[in-house]
Amino acid sequence: MWHGANMATFVIILFLFVQFLFMIRVSLRNAGLFDVMLASLLIKLGLILLIIPRYTSEDSDSIMYFEQAQGLLPGTHGFVELFNAGDAWGTNLIIGVTACILKVAGPSLTVATLSFALPSFWGAYIYYCVFREVFPEANYLYARIVLFLYPSIVFWTAMLGKDGLVFLFLSMVAYGRAKLESRGTATLWLVMLTGIAGCSLIRPHIGALLVISTAASFSFARKGKQKHVARRVASTIFLAIVSLAVVYLCAQLLRLTDVQEAQQHVQLSTAFNGQGSSGFEQSSNPLYRLTLAPLLLVRPFPWELVGAPAALASTEGILLLSVVLIRRKRILEPMKSARLCGFMTYLRWFVALNVLLLALGSSNFGLLARQRTMILPLIALVVLGSFTKTRSRLDSCVGELRLSSTAAK
């Protein structure tokens, strides 16, 4: 039986070989896709082996997950013993999963990190499939490059932690919701619900936002004939009930008993995250923070830079803002018709709710860059869609509404 470095090397080679086979399979009918996927995979591997260890301190989340997972292994015989049945969500869930990986592959930080990075790699492929579904006749070159090689997404989802798994689950929700525009099968519902459940176990508050966003996408999206006023009122009531139920369940998981305690929890979290070299001051006025919330998508600004990762995030923000400003008219075209398509309604709600959540709780540029990876792919889909001159799924939705309106007249 192999031990130590030999076992870790074998597992890494096995992982990469399996990815290579899957990449060949999914790229057979997509010219150029394999090259971009291979480049993305090699970059992730290079980050894990060379770059990330230099930026991982002893008090980082990755090291914490790894060390606590190692502490669970002595004296255990099965995998179930590695999880606390009464508290198997969030951080404890990640520690338990890490312990399972170490139990099989040995005490290798590299193998554990790669195991959490690969889900995000396939999450990028699922987002690429979402783009093809929403813009079925588009030129996909830009989509491949951005979704697989966007620096922040590649870097932050290559860590040992929650981000890679959440990225995969979010892509599953987006894929299921996009596909449900044209067909409603039990498999698509299962994919979407699995994504929501996975996010809820890792980050309950994000699971709550997903439930609200998907409920809104089915309640408020119009396709074909306009809804009767009574049905719209019923949809609003249904969304309110679902939202309250989800918020209540989320509060129970986080052990929050009232609004005042929740506010105190947010304030303490914001103050704690603001410590350190990448922390920044947030106004004590919630309304002021909410007003400036969209700017969090492109911060830190050049005058707020501290370190190389912050410089990279700032460069990305400037480029993203520049593209949005230059192509704002083309970007707004599908967004104005978002009420016509369920997927775009979901996208608007989920991005908006996340931005508001970032405004209330973000006070650290490092955490902000990590948390943005949950919504950057959705923003990228809309921006990338503005570069196509062909008919998209959104155009089909608009066309259906116009035809139905003409027929009614």
Reported as a single tens digit per residue, the pLDDT across 214-236 is 888 888 766 544 455 666 666 66
Query: What is the DSSP track for 195-263?
Result: HHHHHHHH-HHHHHHHHHHHHHHHHH---SSPPPHHHHHHHHHHHHHHHHHHHHHHHHHTT--SHHHHH
Give, as one character, the DSSP assignment of residue 87. Answer: S
Alpha-carbon distance 354 to 361, whole Å? 11
Confidence at residue 145, expressed as pLDDT on a 0 to 100 scale: 93
Question: 258 or 93, which is more confident?
Answer: 93
Residue 312 has pLDDT above 90, yes or no: no
Confidence at residue 205, expressed as pLDDT on a 0 to 100 scale: 84
Residue 303, in any domain of the structure = yes
pLDDT above 90 coverage of the chain, percent:
26
Confidence at residue 164, expressed as pLDDT on a 0 to 100 scale: 93
Query: What is the DSSP track for 106-143?
Result: -S-HHHHHHHHHHHHHHHHHHHHHHHHHHSTTS--HHH
Residue 278, in any domain of the structure = no
Confidence at residue 259, expressed as pLDDT on a 0 to 100 scale: 45
Alpha-carbon distance 108 to 120, whole Å? 20
* Number of other residues whose CB lies within 10 A of the CB of residue 308: 10
Alpha-carbon distance 359 to 370, whole Å? 14
* The pair of three-digit structure tokens given for residue 211, joined into one six-digit string: 């439930």
Q: How many residues are listed for the chain in this entry? A: 409
* Number of other residues whose CB lies within 10 A of the CB of residue 35: 13
DSSP helix/strand/coil, 403: helix
Confidence at residue 269, expressed as pLDDT on a 0 to 100 scale: 47
CA 216 to chain centre: 19
Confidence at residue 89, expressed as pLDDT on a 0 to 100 scale: 79
Question: 345 or 334, which is more confident?
Answer: 345
Q: Is the peptide bond before 300 cis (omega within 30 degrees of 0)?
A: yes
Distances in Å between the Cα of 203 and the Cα atoms of 158, 162, 166, 169, 227 are 18, 8, 8, 11, 34
Residue 381, in any domain of the structure = yes
Strand partners, 364: 279
Confidence at residue 234, expressed as pLDDT on a 0 to 100 scale: 67
C-beta separation of 345 from 178 below 8 A: no
Confidence at residue 1, expressed as pLDDT on a 0 to 100 scale: 41
Residue 163 has pLDDT above 90, yes or no: yes
Residue 166, in any domain of the structure = yes
Q: Which of 87-101, 288-302, 325-339 has the highest mean pLDDT?
A: 87-101
The structural domain count of the chain equals 1
Residue 26, in any domain of the structure = yes
Strand partners, 279: 364
If we measure between CA atoms, which residue out of 132, 220, 115 comes closest to residue 174?
132
- pLDDT-derived band at 43 (thresholds 50, 70, 90) equals very high
Domain of 377 in residue numbering reads as 4-258+293-408
Question: 378 or 400, which is more confident?
Answer: 378
Confidence at residue 36, expressed as pLDDT on a 0 to 100 scale: 94
Confidence at residue 225, expressed as pLDDT on a 0 to 100 scale: 46
Confidence at residue 235, expressed as pLDDT on a 0 to 100 scale: 63
Confidence at residue 57, expressed as pLDDT on a 0 to 100 scale: 67
Confidence at residue 397, expressed as pLDDT on a 0 to 100 scale: 57
pLDDT above 70 coverage of the chain, percent:
72
Question: 136 or 235, which is more confident?
Answer: 136
Mean pLDDT of 90-103: 90
Distances in Å between the Cα of 326 and the Cα atoms of 145, 209, 322, 355, 386 are 20, 30, 6, 22, 11
Q: What is the mean pLDDT of the chain?
A: 78
Alpha-carbon distance 26 to 128, whole Å? 11
If we measure between CA atoms, which residue out of 40, 278, 45, 50 comes closest to residue 151?
40
Confidence at residue 254, expressed as pLDDT on a 0 to 100 scale: 54
Confidence at residue 195, expressed as pLDDT on a 0 to 100 scale: 94
Residue 272, in any domain of the structure = no
Residue 391 has pLDDT above 60, yes or no: no
pLDDT tens across 367-388, in order? 788 888 999 999 999 888 887 6
Residue 288, in any domain of the structure = no
Residue 273, in any domain of the structure = no
Confidence at residue 274, expressed as pLDDT on a 0 to 100 scale: 47
CA 239 to chain centre: 23
pLDDT tens across 257-303, in order? 544 444 444 444 444 444 455 555 565 666 767 777 787 788 777 77
* Number of other residues whose CB lies within 10 A of the CB of residue 33: 20
Question: 81 or 116, which is more confident?
Answer: 116
Confidence at residue 394, expressed as pLDDT on a 0 to 100 scale: 54
- pLDDT-derived band at 46 (thresholds 50, 70, 90) equals very high
φ, ψ (nearest 5 deg) of residue 364: -145, 125
